[in-house]
Chain A
């Protein structure tokens, strides 16, 4: 009996030890990362192949085209997703405190908009500035408004990556210097005013690192849409459609001739004098332009070429006299000035940028010239966020491969395209 008890104890101990070892020292398992390596290799191969077939730019932004390509190649329950970072997104949602009429006008100014053959859609939505619609990329403030009470709202918008552009004229010191939002968020300061008008020129950026570089580049490269307003055909032309190209308040008519040619009246005498081929350059009033697109009979798109001069600027009128307000960067950093009026050798800032994609621009009123529309477009494109998810995946895990691509039809775009793959289970 005495010997049996230790024997039973020993058996119990052995069993207990086996269980303990099994828990504390799980068996050897050989793990390899071949599955992960495989999907990394596959996503890299896919991006390279898309690039080799010359479709990388198209597939970067076109969800359905990319899905179709991937569906023919993806197996094994893989789920793809893709992202683009560093360039203008396909859809830009602009929240604006504008009237319905102003919103309709902006739709007509910026639609259709093509950039490097890619369609960019602007969606203008109304806001009271206190709350912004979901997916807002840019907040546009039109007309003077005391913004002091919105300081916290604007700070939160900026923190969420939303750009802000204000179109505002100031006619008194307190409108700038007593407004915390103007001072802290837009970084503006009132330095007096001078009577008269002046021409405006760009402060040329000296480096691509300059804050003003992107909107400056946008102004001279992004094609601006010019819509036709009447059906008028010229002899020898297949198409019909007459419109106006308005520069510094002067209208220069144009006529769409066919799919590749447009007639321009470059001296504003009402008669066509210059036939421009699609992609060709032309000159109006000493300024150079390029014809980038012809959309049937409805519109064309032209881009400004260096160097354009905005004429007869003034900030406000009082007792029949015109004045230029001297708005300056509050920190004295002249590199934040994009556009300035020059009067008697003195500079008056008319567009001032701030970090976090915030900009102040003078208010061009209800009926701007085309160079002013182009300027606003350049600022909106700059202020909008530069990251978009093209192919949405419900999965947030997996592996992605990034690839830097460039496109340079209208404007030089450099962006990062990422293609990710993950197993469904």
Chain B
């Protein structure tokens, strides 16, 4: 009788142990791939946000880069260095960025210090002031920013759509 009781106890303990191990293993095995994907997505979102901030609120280095040869440019940024206000872009820089990005995408990516590929569209209504996009090949993240820029003494506004993958 004593031996039988010990066996039942053993079985119960074993059952609890096995159940715990199986449950935790199952949870971890299903969570880890999602977690890794989320971490990657977070990093991509963070990179997209930082890139959008850099484009909108940094004038670039040197600040008059749009007048220079791309080889002499250290960093690209669209902020109007004369106004020096957040979310206010330079129209000259917008035009130059669009031209350069469409003709030399790899160099622009390099000047932005990006590991990821990106696509940038700046829309004012239906008109696109910047359209620098390459085909998206992977899962991507999108960030939308509202910006203003001065065009012929008139301050206009538009939506900047940045995609990173």
What is A's interface to B at a CB cutoff of 8 Å?
A: 2, 6, 9-10, 13-14, 17-18, 21-22, 25, 27-28, 30, 32, 34, 38, 41-42, 45-46, 48-49, 52-54, 72-73, 75
A23 to chain B: closest CB distance in Å?
12
Could you tell me the distance in whole angstroms from the C-beta of B52 to the nearest C-beta in chain A?
Answer: 9
Identify which of B26-34, B70-78, B131-139 touches chain A.
B26-34
The chain A residue with its CB closest to the CB of B144 is: A42
Among A14, A17, A25, A52, contact of B155 (Cβ-Cβ < 8 Å): A52
Q: Which 10 A-B pairs have the closest CB atoms?
A: A52-B148, A17-B19, A45-B146, A48-B87, A28-B31, A30-B38, A13-B15, A21-B23, A53-B155, A10-B15
Majority secondary structure of chain B interface residues (helix, strand, loop or mixed): helix
Q: How long is the Cα–Cα vector from A6 to B125 in the complex, in angstroms? A: 74
Residues of B within 8 A of A22 (CB): 23
Tell whether, in the assembled complex, residue B87 and residue A32 are in contact, meaning their CB atoms are under 8 Å apart: no
Total interface residues on B, using CB and 8 Å? Answer: 38
On whether the beta carbons of B16 and A54 are closer than 8 Å, the reply is no
B110 at the interface (CB under 8 A from A): no
A residues in contact with B34, CB < 8 Å: 30
The interface-forming segment of B5-13, B60-68, B93-101 is B5-13
Query: Is B18 part of the contact surface with A, judged by Cβ < 8 Å?
Result: yes
In angstroms, Cα B31 to Cα A30, docked, is 9
Asked if B8 and A6 make an inter-chain contact with CB atoms under 8 angstroms apart, the answer reads yes
The answer to whether B146 touches A21 (Cβ under 8 A) is no
CB contact under 8 A between A32 and B38, given known A10-B11, A52-B85: yes
In the bound complex, do residue A14 and residue B146 qualify as a contact, i.e. CB atoms below 8 Å apart?
no
**Contacts A21-B20, A45-B87 known; A53 to B15 CB distance under 8 Å?**
no
A28 CB contact (under 8 Å) in B20, B27, B157: B27
- Complex contacts, A72 vs chain B, CB 8 Å: 125
With both chains docked as a complex, state the minimum distance between the C-beta of B84 and any C-beta of chain A, in angstroms.
12
**Looking across the interface, which residue of chain A has its beta carbon closest to that of B148?**
A52
Give the docked Cα–Cα distance between A49 and B8 (Å). Answer: 73
B12: which A residues are within 8 A, CB to CB?
9-10, 13
A6-B8, A27-B30, A48-B87 known; 16 new pairs, CB 8 Å cut-off, are A13-B19, A14-B15, A17-B15, A17-B23, A18-B19, A18-B23, A27-B27, A27-B31, A28-B35, A30-B35, A34-B45, A46-B146, A53-B148, A53-B157, A72-B125, A73-B146
How long is the Cα–Cα vector from A31 to B49 in the complex, in angstroms? 18
- Selected A-B contacts with CB under 8 Å, 6 pairs: A9-B11, A21-B23, A25-B27, A28-B31, A49-B87, A53-B148
Question: What CA separation (Å) do A14 and B34 show in the bound complex?
Answer: 27
| Chain B residue at minimal CB-CB distance from A76 | B144
Decide if B87 touches A52 in the complex (CB within 8 Å): yes
Q: Is B88 an interface residue (CB 8 A)?
A: yes
A41 partner residues in chain B, CB cutoff 8 A: 49, 143, 145
A52 to B45, CA, bound (A): 26
Docked Cα-Cα span, A53 to B156, in Å, equals 6
A49 touches B147 (CB 8 A): yes
Contacts of A13 in B (CB 8 A): 12, 15-16, 19
Report B33-67 CB contacts with A as 1/0, cut-off 8 Å.
Answer: 01100100010010001000000000000000000
CA distance A75 to B144 in the complex (A): 10
Q: Could you say which residues of chain B place their CB within 8 Å of the CB of A54?
A: 155
Closest to A48 in B: B87
B117 at the interface (CB under 8 A from A): no
Q: How far is the CB of A72 from chain B (nearest CB, A)?
A: 8
The yes or no answer to B159 lying at the interface (CB within 8 A) is yes
Distance of A31 from chain B, by nearest CB (Å):
9
Q: Is the CB of A42 within 8 A of B146?
A: yes
A17 to B155, CA, bound (A): 66
Complex Cα spacing A27 to B4, Å: 37
Knowing A10-B15, A14-B15, A14-B18 are in contact, say whether A32-B148 is a contact too (CB < 8 A): no
What is the chain A residue whose CB lies nearest that of B34?
A: A30
A21 to B16, CA, bound (A): 11
Q: Which residue of B lies closest to A5 (CB)?
A: B8
Q: In the complex, which residues of chain A have a beta carbon less than 8 angstroms from the beta carbon of B103?
A: none
Chain A residues near B145 (CB, 8 Å)? 41, 45
Docked Cα-Cα span, A42 to B31, in Å, equals 31
